[in-house]
Amino acid sequence: MAEGQTRVMTDDPYLWLEEVTGETALDWVRERNATAVAELTGERFTGLRDELREVLDADDRIPYPRRRGRYLYNFWQDATNPRGLWRRTTLDSYRTDDPEWELVVDVDALARAEDESWVWQGATVLRPGYRLALVELSRGGADASVVREFDLETKTFVEGGFTLPEAKSRVGWIDEDRLFVGTDFGEGSLTASGYPRIAKEWRRGTPLSEAVTVFEGKPDDVSAGAYHDPTEGFERDFVYRNVDFYRTEKFLRRPGGELVKVDVPDDAETSVHREWLLISTRTPWTVGDTTYPAGALLAARFDDYLAGARDLTVLFEPDEHTSLSYQVWTRNHLVIASLQDVKSRFEVLTPVQDWARTPLTGVPEVGSADILDTNPDVDDEYFLNASGYTQPATLYYGEIGGHVAAVKRAPTFFDAEGLSTHQYFATSDDGTQIPYFVVGQENDGPTLMTGYGGFEVSLTPGYSGTTGRGWLARGGQYVVANIRGGGEYGPEWHQSVQKEHRLRVYEDFAAVARDLVTRGITTPERLGIQGGSNGGLLMGVMLTRYPELFGAIVCQVPLLDMRRYHTLLAGASWMAEYGDPDEPEEWAYLKEYSPYQNVAADRPYPPTFILTSTRDDRVHPGHARKMMARLTELGYDVRYYENIEGGHGAAADNEQLAFKWALVFEFLWQQLAGNPTA
């Protein structure tokens, strides 16, 4: 069958595999797991697994901090504490070579005491004061979690405090005695996507059933909620409804309950800091006689804007090579992070007359950097992390306009001697130039290529000890394709491939694969590809549309059945990205590439490895299961592994993570290096 031709399956004999915990389905999973493990866990696998576990558990990793009041908090996992420790220290101690950490929560001890497979999901700390926290724990790493109030002074859970049972809840502090909460309140309280539809105010000492509704979204919304801004002198409440994945309506909720709409395009993103409203456009927006482009960042005084004034200041405007990545406030300044041909750039803006601009000093020239944390209630400090594909991370601490210093350096996990990084551009079918990075030795070793291509997610250069040890240090080359669908060149880079234009994503990835061969970097037989989630969908399309371009495919926690994806778990929330298969005109383009429906007999499909997690409550494991069954039915070379724990990350701790990645790398080495028994 020629490239691009489709043969769509019209019925589904494997619906029974969508029963996540059905015994028949789980027996099927266990059988295939055993087969894959037997095939892939030889001598080289053991070495890979042990080396990757060393990376993940290394004591000299950077303990990345989050400022909460006078403490820096860190969540830490290692071989002794696989589920992890939530701990804290002071800035002065953190800046030493051996910080003194104070234990706050021991998740391993809690899991043993309660006989639960707890996975840390984070904590929301009450501002100001920072005495109370809402701790979230999930069973096995699922998105759904339980919520428990925690006292950061006594370091104990609050007896009789705020608690929520397992659900995909959204919860935040108003003050010491009140929360905004969205959760599963019973029938009709969730959206079609499975997220909260109703926001309530819950007072301490009252049952959840007596919480008062403050806002409701619609059943077909992705979600709705409420939150409180506790900034001193600017205390405000907001409510919102996410109409779809990219459109939001936001309202200021006045003390009497009156809602005042923040009147911007519903696809624009807004944030409020003190007296300022920031607006990030996703499509062109005309205000008066001025049209602001997609990808611009605008500022206005919040109170004036709500009163009807439209005095907007352009803080950032994109160009052909540069896009807005994000922005973050310190107490007195705004830091704008942008990408210039997928390389990080930073600028400091100060909200005085004309918004004074200066570069952020002290940022090293490496692959990419990110502002990890600031302290906007108090001062102008920031933590910045910088790394490259072959440069281990360095964490910097600085103050805007002041001194910047490296406070932590990550260890070198693999020998980068002889490794180089090059950026190239491939030409896609419609003439668009697609950037990609190639990392490795300039040899004919096997090549691993990855991509994502969706939801405006950018793939930027960064150091990975697991990829370094498992692939680069063993002679492999690594390729990252910055295909459309991401945010590397702003909203239009993403929007140009939504819905009916989706095939361009896959044309881009195929173009990079061909360009690698044209440049002599690799051959199809020695080119493997790997991707997860939306990137797993990418892998499925490569398998069914472009199989001749690749020697092996790794498809992780994937979407694959685009006929039913919107009925499975959170799938309905992604229809703004892909389309609605229940609408005939939208199914018409979805069926052109939906991997599960387009598996065909007698095509040269390369060896394939599909991985997922039983506890993934975001992308349903039925996608992966059914694809495995269909490929097996037709006699293709495919293997399957489903971790019981792990949620969408497919691993609940470092042991599971090392095991999973060792399976992946072992499979790739077997298929691409020509030495399957090594």
Could you confirm whether 648 is annotated as catalytic? yes
CB 231 within 8 A of CB 377: yes
- Produce one character per residue of 221-253: b if its CB has 16 or more CB atoms within 10 Å, e if not: bbbbbbbbebeeeeeebbbbbbbbbbbbbbbbb
Q: Map tokens 């979230």 to a residue.
A: 136
User: CA 172, CA 474: separation in Å to the nearest integer?
Assistant: 47
Please give the structure tokens belonging to residue 536: 């797993």
User: CA 76, CA 87: separation in Å to the nearest integer?
Assistant: 8
DSSP count for the chain of H helices, then E strands: 13, 39
Amino acid at 255: P
Q: What are phi and psi of 222, to 5 degrees?
A: -70, -45
- Going across the sheet that includes 433-440, the strands are 420-427, 433-440, 477-481, 447-450, 527-532, 552-556, 608-613, 638-643
DSSP 553-621: EEEES----TTTGGGSGGGGGGHHHH--TTSHHHHHHHHHH-TGGG--TT--PPPEEEEEETT-SSS-T
CB 396 within 8 A of CB 405: yes
User: CA 222, CA 244: separation in Å to the nearest integer?
Assistant: 5
Could you confirm whether 209 is annotated as catalytic? no
DSSP 179-238: EEEES--STT-B-TTSSB-EEEEEETTS-GGGPEEEEE--TTSSEEEEEEE--TT--EEE
Question: From residue 621, how far is each of 494, 521, 640 by CA, in Å?
Answer: 26, 35, 12
Q: Which of 145, 344, 533, 594 is catalytic?
A: 533
Q: What is the dihedral of CA 391, 394, 396, 401, to 10 degrees?
A: -10
Cis ω for the linkage preceding 207 (within 30 of 0): no
Q: Find the DSSP H helices in 235-345.
A: 302-306
Q: Find the DSSP H helices in 354-489.
A: 465-470
Q: Which of 228, 273, 566, 648 is catalytic?
A: 648
CB 581 within 8 A of CB 566: yes
Length of the chain: 678
User: CA 38, CA 227: separation in Å to the nearest integer?
Assistant: 50
User: CA 663, CA 556: separation in Å to the nearest integer?
Assistant: 12
Q: Which residues form the catalytic set?
A: 533, 648
